[in-house]
């Protein structure tokens, strides 16, 4: 057995993950609408042999208040699937993972879209399944508002099953069979006839079978039903964990759920987010962090914190006081708990929590030298907390370049990361099993 290597994803976002990245002197302020910028970022990640790039999604503006929205570069973005279609044909080995909602799409259309990404990329596509927890998204699709968490997940389960069956409904060699009598060999096509509670799907996808069998399935759900769906269907899970203890508990929890679905522990890769701020020295890293933090307008940070807590408004509470008690929510329950816990553990004020979360947006942030960052990653990788990391550079392209030129060589020196791609498909590079067609 070869040595175990970290999996690395580059989570891309316009000017950077830091909420105020676009204001940084090095930032292209209009990066979010510049396709050349994203192709450049993908090529940086590919040159460093990253497993994948990852794009998040929201089918709505993220902030209700127009004044606050107008101060955030995240208010507008490329739609992820169209963005990744362009990146697919401008890269050769890099996995491309897009987020898409099971609540506001239907299975045939979305399975078809991911089959297309998988074909365009030669077997490098992945789907991060989300159920869309925001009220603002709900308001773009129905007058009835956001559906409850349990109902969204019930739909997601049925959606995922239909998508998997559609992808597996076309065998290798179904198009232009060697015997040549017909354009397609019907014995290698298995139309889906799904009539469930939420969907009716009849037919086959009009794509050839992917070189990696079917797209990689990714999830980030941290609720109990989310983890169960991941254990059953996902190849990769992203997770937001602050401490190594939280990360270890999450890792052990999802891995323990695999056996009952007949899956091995290596069949699911756990890749928590890391927000690295890299400097040649500790002082330089801290100075880079400070420069970004000072660009955050307080109202923007506090509104972002409120949205992570799934509450309407925090602006009536004193900025330098603690968080108020939180009502229970049917939204993203796990992230709310994470913020409340951090606030209590470290005694942080609303302003401090806002700055903290605006910066890394709930993910694990490490500010330091390449050695310090590699140490922190190695501790979690070797300590049963991660199979790899989803790297959230605070600023693009420089924050990603800092990571690829300074941290990646340090990881390689320690034998923790690949020198070259193992294969051409995302499934090969992640080292997760290929599914059989139906």
Contacts of 15 (CB under 8 A, 6+ apart): 21, 22, 24, 27, 28, 29, 31, 32, 73, 395, 396
**Torsion (CA) 207, 211, 214, 220 in degrees, nearest 10:** -130
Q: Check binding of 202 to another protein (CB under 8 A).
A: yes
Q: Check binding of 23 to another protein (CB under 8 A).
A: yes
149 is in an annotated binding site: yes
**Torsion (CA) 265, 267, 268, 270 in degrees, nearest 10:** 70
Short-list 185, 189, 103, CA closest to 146 = 103
Q: Which of residues 161-190 bind another protein (CB under 8 A)?
A: 175-176, 180, 182-184, 186, 189
235 is in an annotated binding site: no
Q: Which stretch binds another protein (CB under 8 A): 134-142, 241-249, 275-283, 395-403?
A: 134-142
Q: Which stretch binds another protein (CB under 8 A): 57-65, 306-314, 327-335, 391-399?
A: 57-65
What whole-number distance in Å separates Cα of residue 279 and Cα of residue 285?
4
Q: Which of residues 66-105 bind another protein (CB under 8 A)?
A: 66-67, 69-73, 75-79, 81-83, 85-86, 88-90, 104-105
By the 8 A CB rule, do 254 and 268 touch? yes
Minimum distance from CB of 187 to another protein (Å)? 11
DSSP designation for 2: P
Helices 80-88 and 35-47 pack at an angle, to 10 degrees, of 60
Binding residue (CB under 8 A) for another protein from 11, 50, 108, 417: 108
What whole-number distance in Å separates Cα of residue 107 and Cα of residue 97?
17
CB nearer another protein, residue 141 or residue 317: 141
Short-list 282, 290, 327, 289, CA closest to 309 = 327
Three-state SS string over 364-410 comes to EEEEECHHHHHHHHHHHHHCCCCCEEEECCCCCCHHHHHHHHHHHHH
Q: Check binding of 117 to another protein (CB under 8 A).
A: yes
What whole-number distance in Å separates Cα of residue 295 and Cα of residue 388?
30
By the 8 A CB rule, do 416 and 408 touch? no
153 is in an annotated binding site: yes
Q: Which stretch binds another protein (CB under 8 A): 28-36, 236-244, 245-253, 382-390?
A: 28-36
224 is in an annotated binding site: no
Q: Which of residues 34-53 bind another protein (CB under 8 A)?
A: 35, 39
CB nearer another protein, residue 36 or residue 259: 36
Binding residue (CB under 8 A) for another protein from 58, 96, 229, 416: 58
Q: Check binding of 204 to another protein (CB under 8 A).
A: yes
261 is in an annotated binding site: no
Q: Check binding of 206 to another protein (CB under 8 A).
A: yes
By the 8 A CB rule, do 46 and 93 touch? yes
Q: Which of residues 277-336 bind another protein (CB under 8 A)?
A: 295, 297, 300
How many chain residues are in contact with another protein, going by CB under 8 A? 74
Minimum distance from CB of 409 to another protein (Å)? 31
**From the annotation, which residues make up the binding site for FMN?**
57, 99, 149, 153, 223
**From the annotation, which residues make up the binding site?**
57, 99, 149, 153, 223
């Amino acid at each position: 057995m070869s040595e175990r290597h970290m999996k690395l994803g580059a989570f891309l976002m316009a000017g950077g993950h830091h909420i105020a990245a676009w204001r940084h002197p090095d930032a292209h302020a209009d990066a979010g609408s510049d396709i050349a910028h994203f192709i450049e970022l993908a090529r940086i990640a590919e040159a460093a042999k990253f497993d994948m790039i990852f794009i998040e999604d929201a089918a709505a503006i993220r902030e209700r208040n127009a004044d606050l929205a107008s101060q955030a570069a995240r208010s507008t973005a490329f739609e992820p699937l169209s963005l990744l279609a362009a990146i697919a044909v401008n890269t050769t080995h890099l996995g491309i993972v897009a987020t898409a909602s099971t609540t506001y799409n239907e299975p045939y259309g979305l399975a078809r879209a991911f089959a297309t990404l998988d074909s365009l990329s030669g077997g490098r596509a992945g789907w991060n399944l989300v159920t869309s927890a925001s009220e603002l998204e709900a308001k773009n699709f129905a007058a009835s508002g956001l559906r409850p968490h349990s109902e969204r997940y019930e739909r997601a389960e049925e959606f995922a099953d239909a998508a998997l069956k559609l992808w597996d409904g076309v065998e290798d060699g179904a198009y232009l069979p060697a015997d040549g009598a017909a354009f397609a060999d019907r014995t290698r096509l298995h139309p889906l006839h799904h009539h469930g509670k939420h969907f009716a799907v009849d037919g086959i996808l009009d794509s050839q079978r992917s070189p990696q069998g079917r797209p990689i399935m990714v999830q980030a759900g941290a609720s109990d039903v989310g983890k169960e769906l991941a254990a059953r269907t996902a190849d990769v899970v992203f997770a937001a964990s602050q401490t190594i203890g939280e990360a270890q508990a999450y890792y052990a929890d999802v891995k323990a759920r695999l056996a009952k679905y007949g899956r091995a522990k290596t069949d699911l890769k756990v890749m928590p987010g890391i927000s690295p701020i890299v400097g040649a020295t500790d002082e330089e890293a801290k100075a880079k962090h400070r420069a970004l933090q000072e660009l955050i307008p307080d109202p923007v940070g506090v509104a972002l914190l409120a949205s992570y807590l799934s509450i309407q408004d925090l602006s009536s509470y004193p900025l330098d006081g603690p968080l108020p008690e939180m009502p229970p929510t049917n939204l993203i329950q796990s992230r709310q708990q994470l913020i409340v816990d951090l606030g209590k553990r470290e005694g942080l004020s609303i302003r401090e929590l806002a700055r903290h979360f605006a910066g890394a947006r709930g993910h694990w942030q490490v500010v330091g030298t390449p050695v310090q960052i590699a140490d922190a990653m190695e501790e979690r990788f070797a300590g049963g907390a991660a199979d790899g990391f989803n790297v959230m550079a605070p600023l693009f392209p420089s924050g990603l370049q800092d990571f690829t030129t300074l941290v990646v060589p340090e990881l390689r020196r320690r034998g923790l990361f690949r020198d070259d791609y193992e294969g051409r498909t995302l499934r090969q590079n992640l080292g997760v099993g290929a599914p059989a067609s139906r």
